[in-house]
Structure formats: structure tokens, C-alpha cells
């Protein structure tokens, strides 16, 4: 009878291969600190619209569009703000879809000779090396990304398009509540919005425990 390998060796080898593959995958997907906590990369396009004459990005109708993915919670808040302000006719939306085989967002049909969201980023900024995330506030006129940070995109939609909005008086960030909103935002961002990523991308038990406890504590308040 042919001899089989000892079970212990098979299990040990299997665990080693799986752990190594997982570590390689995570190192590409999720930057971390020394204790294995997920560190979200900063969004890199952080421009604002302004009516200052020297600013090339002037508020206008039918000039800017949002690239969004329907499964993306960050994109949702941009879409919700666009709807609440009544900006559907002023700001276009292009929906992108996840490509499970490529691990990137792809456009529903090629635009500007781009098939994918990473290609749009390259068009906006040749040589760009960061993550190609949505939502994106895109300028159709200059073919570039104005902003790719949803917290700032919603601020722009709330305040810079009022002359084209159906609900210009609906202010989602009233001056007298800014402090309270910012303080809640800070908590919700760290523990819930980014908290679920901190759980999923934790690369040590300690990092996972910290993220999941903070998430549960805030969600149960």
C-alpha cells in the first residue's frame, strides 16, 4: 500500500500556504500600521469649486458629473445629497460596476476612451499611483477629477450649486450645527464608516478586537 504523508504535515503546510497567500493579498489591499491596524490611504484629489475668478473650477450646471458605484456607501452619500438638494438635472451621474475578475471599477460603457475607473484616474493625472476609488466629482470640461473624497464632495454639493438646485434652502450643514455635526462625523467615520473596513482589513487579532469593539459600542448607543 502506498504510504501517505502524515496528516500533521499536510495541515501545517496548508496553513502556511494559506497564511502566506493571505498576507500577500492583504499587503496589496490594505496598508497597515505596526500593530496590524488598517490605515486608510488619504484621498488625493481635494479641490473645491469656487466663484473666485482665478479658480478654474467654477460652479456650473451640466459641467460636472459624479462617478458612483451602487454598492459603495461613500458614493451613496454623494447620491443622497444630490437628490436632497434637487441637483439631478444639474449634475450628471455615471454608474460604474465592480469587475470581480479585475478587482477594479469598470464603466458601463467606455467614455473618453476609458473602460475602467483606473483609466479615468490616469486621464486626470497621468502616472497616478493611488487607489482608484469612487465617488468621483468629475469636470467634463477640463476632463479631470475635482475631488474624490466623499465628505468633501457632499459639502460641495450642499453649498456650491445652490443657484442650480431645486432645494437651495435645504442646508445639510447649517453654520450653528457645524460643531456638533463634525464631532458626530468624527466618531461615526472612525468607528462605523471606516470601522467596518478596520474590522475586515485588520491584520492582527488585537487590531480586529479594537475595531470590532469600537464598532459595536457606537452602534449600540
Ligand X SMILES: N[C@@H](CCC(=O)N[C@@H](CS)C(=O)NCC(=O)O)C(=O)O
The residues that are catalytic are 72, 197
CB of 120 or CB of 207, closer to ligand X: 120
Select the residue interacting with ligand X from 134, 146, 202, 207 (CB under 6 A): 134
Is 58 in contact with 131 (CB distance < 8 Å)? Answer: no
Select the residue interacting with ligand X from 38, 121, 150, 156 (CB under 6 A): 150
Q: What binding mask, one character per residue, do residues 153-192 give for ligand X by CB under 6 A, x or -?
A: ----------------------------------------
Distance CA 63, CA 66 (A): 11
Q: Is residue 28 exposed (0-12), middle (13-18) or buried (19+ Cβ within 10 Å)?
A: exposed
Tell me which residues in 93-132 interact with ligand X (CB under 6 A): 131-132
Nearest distance, CB of residue 66 and ligand X, angstroms: 11
DSSP state, residue 41: P
**φ, ψ for residue 112, nearest 5 deg:** 55, 35
Tell me which residues in 191-220 interact with ligand X (CB under 6 A): none
In angstroms and rounded to an integer, the radius of gyration of the C-alpha atoms of the chain is: 22
Is 188 in contact with 218 (CB distance < 8 Å)? Answer: yes
Nearest distance, CB of residue 163 and ligand X, angstroms: 25
Binding residues for ligand X, total number by CB under 6 A = 12
Is 70 in contact with 95 (CB distance < 8 Å)? Answer: yes
Select the residue interacting with ligand X from 37, 119, 139, 149 (CB under 6 A): 149
Select the residue interacting with ligand X from 49, 72, 124, 211 (CB under 6 A): 72
Nearest distance, CB of residue 11 and ligand X, angstroms: 34
SS3 115: strand
Distance CA 29, CA 201 (A): 8
What residues line the site for ligand X (CB under 6 A)? 43, 69, 72-74, 131-135, 149-150
Amino acid at each position: 500500500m502506498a504510504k501517505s504523508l502524515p496528516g500533521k504535515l499536510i495541515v501545517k503546510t496548508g496553513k502556511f500556504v494559506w497564511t502566506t497567500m493571505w498576507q500577500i493579498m492583504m499587503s496589496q489591499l490594505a496598508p497597515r500600521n505596526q500593530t496590524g491596524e488598517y490605515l486608510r490611504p488619504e484621498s488625493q484629489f481635494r479641490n473645491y469649486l469656487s466663484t473666485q475668478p482665478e479658480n478654474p473650477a467654477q460652479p456650473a450646471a451640466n459641467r460636472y458629473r459624479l462617478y458612483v458605484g451602487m454598492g459603495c456607501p461613500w458614493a451613496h452619500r454623494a447620491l443622497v445629497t444630490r437628490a436632497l438638494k434637487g441637483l439631478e438635472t444639474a449634475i450628471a451621474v455615471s454608474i460604474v460596476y465592480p469587475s470581480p475578475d479585475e478587482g477594479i471599477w469598470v464603466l458601463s460603457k467606455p467614455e473618453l476612451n476609458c473602460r475602467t475607473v483606473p483609466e479615468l484616474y490616469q486621464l486626470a493625472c497621468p502616472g497616478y499611483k493611488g487607489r482608484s476609488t469612487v465617488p468621483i466629482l468629475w469636470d467634463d470640461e477640463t476632463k479631470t477629477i475635482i475631488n474624490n473624497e466623499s465628505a468633501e464632495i457632499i459639502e460641495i454639493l450642499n453649498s456650491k450649486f445652490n443657484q442650480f438646485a431645486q432645494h437651495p434652502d435645504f442646508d445639510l450643514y447649517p453654520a450653528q450645527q457645524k460643531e456638533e455635526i463634525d464631532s458626530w462625523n468624527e466618531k461615526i467615520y472612525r468607528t462605523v464608516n471606516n470601522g467596518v473596513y478596520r474590522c475586515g482589513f485588520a491584520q492582527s487579532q488585537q487590531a480586529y478586537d479594537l475595531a470590532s469593539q469600537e464598532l459595536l459600542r457606537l452602534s449600540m448607543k
